[in-house]
Amino acid sequence: MPQQIRAVVVDPEAPGKLAIKPVELRDPDRDEVAVRVSAISLNRGETRRALQQAEPGWRPGWDFVGIVETAAADGSGPRPGTRVVGILPSGAWAERVNCRTHAVAALPEAVRDAAAATLPVAGLTALHALRQGGLLLARKVLV
């Protein structure tokens, strides 16, 4: 049964065009886990879209960290109580999210939530750059 949660939404009337509002969270699909969010990150693309391009009501947010509350009905993915990092097409700036199991990964205890939340978009961008640029050992790079 859908539930009410608080989430950041685009609101042209709000200061800064963003507001925390109650929204409906649908029930997870069979291949999705329900996650209580504990940390998010801000990325340039999602922030720019939220402030300059998004329609009213759009929910920003790509990266999140949290605890799985409900396992996927199809048996895939992590079990309830597992701490995970994940990526969504939008909507991660919320109290809870539903996420496909292929887009979450369990986190080791040693990794802090705030650090882990930076991994999906920024981490994958860095990995892509390394794959495109090749090995950097003993090479000069501009940072």
Sign of CA dihedral 92, 54, 21, 24: negative
With beta carbons less than 8 A apart as the criterion, state whether 78 and 33 touch: yes
| Alpha carbon distance 49, 67 (integer Å) | 27
**For tokens 């409900």, what's the residue?**
70
pTM across the whole model: 0.88
With beta carbons less than 8 A apart as the criterion, state whether 41 and 33 touch: no
List per-residue pLDDT tens for the chain, 143 residues long: 789 999 999 999 999 999 999 999 999 999 999 999 999 999 999 999 999 999 999 999 999 999 999 999 999 999 999 999 999 999 999 999 999 999 999 999 999 999 999 999 998 888 888 888 877 777 787 77
Q: Which residues have a Cβ under 8 Å from the Cβ of 121 and sit 6 or more positions away?
A: 41, 43, 45, 62, 63, 87
Domains and CATH numbers, the chain: 3-133 (3.90.180.10)
Among the listed residues 129, 122, 40, the one whose alpha carbon sits nearest the alpha carbon of residue 85: 40
For position 126, what pLDDT does the model report? 84
